[in-house]
Structure 1
Amino acid sequence: MDDSSSLAPAVRSILDAARERETPDRQLSVDPEPLPDALDSAAAGGHAPVVAEVKPTSPTTDGQRDDDPAELAREMVAGGAAAISVLTEPEHFDGSTDALRTVRDAVDVPVLRKDFLLEEAQLDAVEADVVLLIARFLDGDGELEAMLAAARERGFQALVEVHDRAELRRALDAGADIVGVNNRDLAALEVDLDTFESVAPHVPDDVTLLAESGIGSPADARRMRAAGADGLLVGSAIMRGDGDVRENTRRLVTA
Structure 2
Amino acid sequence: MNPILHKIVETKHSEINESRGKVLPDRTIPIRDWKSHLKTTSISVIAECKKGSPSAGVIRPDYNPVSIATEYESSGAGAISVLTDKSYFYGSLSDLQSVANKVSVPVIRKDFILDPIQIDEAYAYGASAILLIVRILSPEQLKLLHEHATRLGLAVLVETHNQKEVDIALDMGANTIGINTRDLDTFQIHKNLIEQIAPKLDSSIIRVAESGIESFEDWQKYKGMIDSMLVGTFFMKSKNIPADFLALLNGKTANRN
- How many residues align? The count is 242
- Pick from 7, 12, 16 the counterpart of residue 10 of structure 2: 16
Q: For residues 206-245 of structure 1, what are the structure 2 equivalents within 5 Å?
A: 206-226=204-224, 228-240=225-237, 243-245=239-241
Letter paired with 2:58: G
Does 2:69 align with 1:70? no
* Superposed CA RMSD: 1.9
In 1, Cα distance between equivalents of 2:219 and 2:231: 9
> Which of the residues 172, 177, 181 maps onto 1:174?
172
- Say if 1:48 and 1:221, in contact at 8 Å, map to a contact too: no
Aligned-pair identity (%)? 33
Post-superposition offset of 1:245: 1.8
Query: Conserved in 1, the CA contact under 8 Å of 2:39 and 2:206?
Result: no
Which position in structure 1 is the counterpart of 2:48?
Answer: 53
Question: Unaligned regions of 5+ residues in structure 2, if any?
Answer: 252-257
Q: How does 1:102-251 map to 2 (within 5 A)?
A: 102-125=98-121, 126-140=125-139, 142-226=140-224, 228-240=225-237, 243-251=239-247
4+ long deviations beyond 3 Å: 24-31
How far the C-alpha of 1:254 sits from its partner, in A, is 3.0
Cα contact 1:80–1:250 (8 A) shared by 2: no
For each residue in 1:197-251, what CA deviation from the matched residue of structure 2 results, as whole angstroms up to 9, or x when unmatched?
111122112111100001111111212334x1100000001111x5212222222
1:79 aligns with 2:75: yes
Partner amino acid, structure 2, of 1:209? R
Task: Compare relative contact order (CA 8 Å, sep 6+) and give the higher one, 1 or 2.
Answer: 1
SS of residue in 2 equivalent to 1:184:
coil
1:78-130 Cα deviation digits (max 9, x unpaired): 22211110000001000111001111111111111100001111112233011
Instruction: Note the C-alpha offset of 1:180.
Output: 0.4
- C-alpha change, 1:155 and 1:175, in structure 2 (3 Å) is same
Q: Paired residue for 1:100?
A: 96
Q: Which residue of 2 aligns with 1:4?
A: none
What stretches of structure 1 of length at least 5 have no aligned partner?
A: 1-6
How far 1:10 moved relative to its partner? Answer: 2.0
The one-letter code sitting in structure 2 at the alignment partner of 1:211 is: A
Distance 1:166 1:24, change over 3 A: same
Report the AA paired with residue 169 of structure 2. A
Once the two structures are superposed, what CA deviation does each residue of 1:127-166 show, in whole Å capped at 9, x if it has no partner? 30110001111125x1111110011111111000111111
What SS does structure 1 have at the residue aligned with 2:126?
coil
Q: CA deviation at 1:24?
A: 4.7
Q: TM-score, normalised on structure 1?
A: 0.89
> In structure 2, how many angstroms separate the alpha carbons of the residues matched to 1:212 and 1:248?
18
> What corresponds to 1:38 in structure 2?
37
Task: Provide the rounded CA distance (Å) in 2 between the counterparts of 1:81 and 1:254.
Answer: 14
Cα displacement (A) at 1:62: 4.5
Mapped to 1, the partners of 2:119 and 2:3 lie a distance apart of 25
Cα distance in 2, alignment partners of residues 211 and 173 from structure 1: 20
Aligned residue for 2:87, secondary structure, equals helix
- Using the size of structure 2 for normalisation, the TM-score is 0.88
